[in-house]
Amino acid sequence: MKINKTNFSLIIFFLFIVISFLVGFQAGESIGLNFLSFSKNMGLLLPPVFILIGLFEVWIKKETIEKHLGDDSGFKSYLFILLLSSTMIGGLVVALPVAITLLNKGAKHSVIYTFLFSSAICRIPMTFFEASFLGLKFTLIRLLISLPLILIISIIMGTKLKIPNQKTV
């Protein structure tokens, strides 16, 4: 087995964790436990997401996506994609595969950018969490500023940048 930089980094990381537990190094133990917790969460989140994305690929026709989110769709496509992205769980870990699927099904680039941006900052669970800590007024002001900026930037980027279509395996 050839050891490249990535493999070497992983070996060093796991050696650090093992040695930390052996010698009782508290920071290393904490890093190891956090890594296990994160790995468990991702292991529970990603398989259902990929199953749903696979079902989406099979069940939803390309013509449907092109009609509602494609180049000929109007401003309603942005409202629809904002609604879809606001209900996402998992953040960008989930949003990126969904975005690729939408792109391959014919969604226009500006809608894809809107989906990615809004799924990163305008999710409903995150908004409730933010409102409980920072207050409803702050959250509403942030959303009222963020949403128009997301739309403006997405439309500009959609006209200037084109993502090459990727065929997923």
d(CA 165, CA 8): 33
Q: How high is the pLDDT of residue 169?
A: 45
d(CA 100, CA 23): 45
Q: How high is the pLDDT of residue 48?
A: 87
Q: Note the helical H segments in 24-75.
A: 26-59, 62-69
Q: How high is the pLDDT of residue 166?
A: 57
Q: Per-block average pLDDT, block size 10, for the chain (169 residues)? A: 79 93 93 93 86 88 88 88 87 86 90 92 88 93 94 91 62
pTM of the model: 0.75
Residue with tokens 């904002």: 82
Structure tokens at 5: 């930089």
Per domain, the residue ranges of the chain are: 1-45, 60-169
Q: How high is the pLDDT of residue 37?
A: 94
